[in-house]
Amino acid sequence: MWFLLLLVLPVAGCFRVSPPDGGSQAQFEGPRTFNAADIALPSSYRIELVASGLTFPTGVTFDADGIPHVTESGYSYGEVWDTPRLLRIDRQDRQTVIAVGENNGPWTGVTYLEGSFYIAEGGTHRGGRVLRVERDGNIRPLLSDLPSFGDHHVNGPVIGPDGQLYFGIGTFTNSGVVGEDNYRYGWLQRHPSAHDTPCRDVTLRGINFTSMNPFTPRADDEAVTGAFVPFGTVTRQGQVIAGRLPCNGAILKMPISGGTPQLVAWGFRNPFGLAFSPDKQLYVTDNSYDDRGSRPVHGTGDLLWLVQAGTWYGWPDFHGLLRLDHHDHFIPPGKPQPPVLLAQHPNQPPKPIAVLGVHSSSNMFDFSRSPFFGHVGEAFIAQFGDLSPTAGKVLAPVGFKVVRVNVENGIVEDFAVNRGRVNGPASKIGGGGLERPIAARFSPDGSALYLVDFGVMTVGQGGKVRLPWATNKPSSEPRRGTGALWKITRSSTAP
């Protein structure tokens, strides 16, 4: 028995006693260096640097001439604001500013159709928006006041085969309950009455959670908060939370000329990446729960979903097919099992197409359509990488690479990773490779996969967000000017 225990211990028994060792936990003095040779790809593929010096880049699209355009976010976790911008990237890294946004980032993604760019604006200050941007830099909001100024924002957008503009709205919270973790993110200080909004009516079980109260200076002050209500508000059993549009944790669509948004599907947590497959099916990457806040959830990998119209996808009570009270699956070490919040569920969530790494932050992706590039019909997903320990402890860096997913069988394969004895961002493991891939998109002819690299973001004591009674809580430290754009091509079709 002891022998068996010793064999098993190195594999499982060390989580509690091992220190967290996420990819964010690095010292970075700068400047960032680049070396494509430090990135490993399958044979016959090569990667090159297209642009560097970008500040918090998030999305890439292409105009009618196939020229890449990149969004710079204008906001990053860590409560760092900058100017949202749309940049054209010409040869030899010549960068031209096409449009400049307001102080309401993050701009999380961009798409292009018939002379206009469509940008998702997160809305940290004045609520989320969907913007139409002309080539002369003129910006016109198509939609405003979206409930997206919490932990997560407006994401996407993509143009569907029906000519509509599809976009995602992430949830305010980790798992439905506003808590001191949201104060630490920063937005609860600006919007103290904000909370999640369901798309359809939901009935609560009346489960409430006690947390520290960050609005008072005393460390022992507490607040009690239920689901889908403002911080410090108690819910009761049988209470109905009215659904409405626009909601969050959802995918919506609207005409590209503007107009009333329609619900596509809901019950997501943070539907970050949206893409249509070659057979015109909508897929989405969903950043799953963190081990933080009043209702922490452990061990839930990010999900790739096939989106079926009108379906509820499980948030805040499921991970994939499983309820959060399923046996011992989602219990954070040393914390209680997350209780189910809803008295009834709209439907049993469908099975995810693929389950990706826990805390990998699997974000924007695209489908290969070119036989020359290969893997036609597979999804290439950019993984931003973990934010350990603020999002939850990991034993080793997760993400910081590009994976490809066969959507027919859910098999996940690494595609672009940094070389080295272990996985991780270049700022942690050394070299001049990838930091935080956040978007992967193919060129219009399908011959090249462009990869937006957000740049260096460590987690440490240098961030701006502080609680009055907890001065040593770590927060994100994004580094301006470290973002980049890479390009992956295939040199031959030979294996």
Partner 1 sequence: MIRTALLISIITIASVALSCSARRSEPIAGPLLLSSPEIAEGRKIFMDHCHQCHPGGEAGLGPSLNNKPLPAFAIRTQVRHGFGAMPAFYENEISETELDSLVTYLKALRQHG
Footprint on this chain of partner 1 (rule: CB under 8 A):
2-4, 6-16, 18, 40-43, 298-301, 327-331, 333, 354-360, 392-398, 409-417, 419, 421-423
65 alpha-carbon distance from chain centroid: 29
What is the rounded CA–CA span in Å between residue 459 and residue 449?
Answer: 29
Kindly state the smallest distance separating residue 280's Cβ from partner 1, in Å.
25
Q: Which is nearer to partner 1, 307 or 412 (CB)?
A: 412
CB of 390 to partner 1, least distance (A): 15
Chain-centroid distance, C-alpha 407: 20
Cβ 294 to partner 1, closest distance in Å?
20
Q: Which is nearer to partner 1, 156 or 399 (CB)?
A: 399
Nearer to partner 1, 393 or 441 (CB): 393
Residues in the chain: 495
The pair of structure tokens assigned to 280 is 């015109």
How far is 390 from 326, CA to CA, in rounded Å?
A: 25
The distance from CA 31 to its chain's CA centroid, rounded to whole angstroms, is 26
The residue among 254 and 403 lying less far from partner 1, judged by its C-beta, is 403
d(CA 321, CA 326): 10
User: In whole angstroms, what is the distance from residue 70 CA to residue 67 CA?
Assistant: 10
Minimum distance, C-beta of residue 437 to partner 1, in the bound complex (Å): 14
Tokens, residue 414: 């690494």
Could you tell me the two tokens for 386?
A: 């973990």
Least distance from C-beta 364 to partner 1, angstroms? Answer: 19
Q: Which is nearer to partner 1, 101 or 433 (CB)?
A: 433
φ, ψ at 297 (rounded to 5°): -130, 135
267 Ramachandran zone, left/alpha/beta (phi>0; psi -120 to 50): left
**Smallest distance, partner 1 to C-beta of residue 420, A:** 8
State which residue, 191 or 436, has the beta carbon closest to partner 1.
Answer: 436
Quick one: 69 exposed, middle or buried, by C-beta within 10 A (0-12, 13-18, 19+)?
buried
CA gap 94, 13 in Å, rounded: 52
CB of 220 to partner 1, least distance (A): 30
Residue with smaller CB distance to partner 1, 8 or 64: 8
